[in-house]
């Protein structure tokens, strides 16, 4: 049974996305289809123009790969009556702009840095290709300072939990820090603060 989605939903300015706590698995979300209890943004001010109001604007389809699941999800969309910009609602298990879900991304990167195995060895497990893992690694290193800073703020730590040193070592320390948390929760909290998450491009 899927829980009602949270009313606290940030928006991502560039792509006009809002991420919300799904409260269920991707399979449950998919099975409910249009019957899923999406957060209702009807009547809210548009986050783009700040003057028009949002109304329901149907759905679009998005592909997701995560934890043995691969399939098409329906994404609820709203449109501003004034400026015409749309706002879409992205469930927290998905990563903005990526077909792979948050859990898969965090799992494969954590495994890579924790085990010290080569990319081809990690790719041989079938989670993702060596080329994709390489791209994940490049982007996570580009985002590392932002991720560490936001994690420090979220956890109200006095100092960053990552020590100085080579980028590979610091990246491994970051994944070690978040290992005891739910990958989706950290993703959502960072998104709430910045409009970005693990692999989001830092530049607009």
Which two tokens mark 160?
């960053």
- Angle at CA of residue 30, ends 8 and 65, nearest 5°: 90
The first and second tokens of residue 9, run together, are 């939903």
Q: What is the rounded CA–CA span in Å between residue 61 and residue 152?
A: 35
Q: What pTM did the predictor assign? A: 0.85
CB-based contact 96:17 (threshold 8 Å): yes
Q: What is the pLDDT of residues 55-84, one digit of tens each?
A: 999 999 999 998 889 999 999 999 998 888
SS3 32: helix
Tell me the pLDDT tens digit for each residue of 108-128: 999 999 988 888 888 888 788
Reported as type and span, the H/E element at residue 12 is strand 11-12
Query: 198 and 147 in contact (C-beta within 8 Å)?
Result: yes
Quick count: other Cβ atoms within 10 Å of Cβ 118? 11
DSSP annotation of 35 reads G
Q: What Cα–Cα distance (Å) separates residue 28 from each residue in 6, 33, 136? A: 17, 9, 27
Nearest Cα residue to 10 out of 47, 59, 42: 47
- Does residue 104 surpass a pLDDT of 60? yes
* pLDDT tens digits along 152-171: 999 998 888 888 889 999 99
Report the C-alpha dihedral over residues 88, 89, 92, 93, rounded to 10 degrees.
-70
């Amino acid at each position: 049974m899927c829980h009602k989605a949270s009313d606290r939903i940030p928006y991502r300015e560039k792509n006009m996305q809002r991420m919300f706590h799904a409260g269920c698995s991707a399979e449950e979300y998919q099975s409910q289809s249009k019957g899923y209890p999406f957060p209702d943004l009807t009547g809210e001010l548009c986050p783009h123009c700040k003057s028009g109001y949002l109304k329901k604007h149907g759905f679009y389809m998005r592909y997701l790969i995560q934890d043995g699941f691969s399939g098409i999800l329906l994404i609820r969309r709203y449109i501003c009556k004034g400026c015409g910009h749309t706002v879409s609602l992205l469930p927290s298990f998905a990563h903005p702009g990526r077909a792979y879900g948050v859990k898969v991304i965090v799992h494969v990167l954590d495994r890579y840095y924790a085990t010290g195995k080569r990319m081809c060895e990690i790719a041989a497990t079938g989670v993702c290709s060596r080329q994709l893992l390489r791209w994940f690694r490049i982007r996570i290193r580009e985002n590392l300072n932002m991720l560490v800073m936001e994690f420090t703020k979220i956890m109200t730590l006095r100092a960053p939990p990552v020590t100085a040193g080579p980028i590979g070592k610091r990246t491994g320390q970051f994944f070690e820090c978040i290992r005891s948390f739910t990958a989706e929760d950290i993703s959502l909290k960072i998104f709430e603060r910045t409009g970005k998450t693990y692999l989001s491009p830092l530049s607009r």
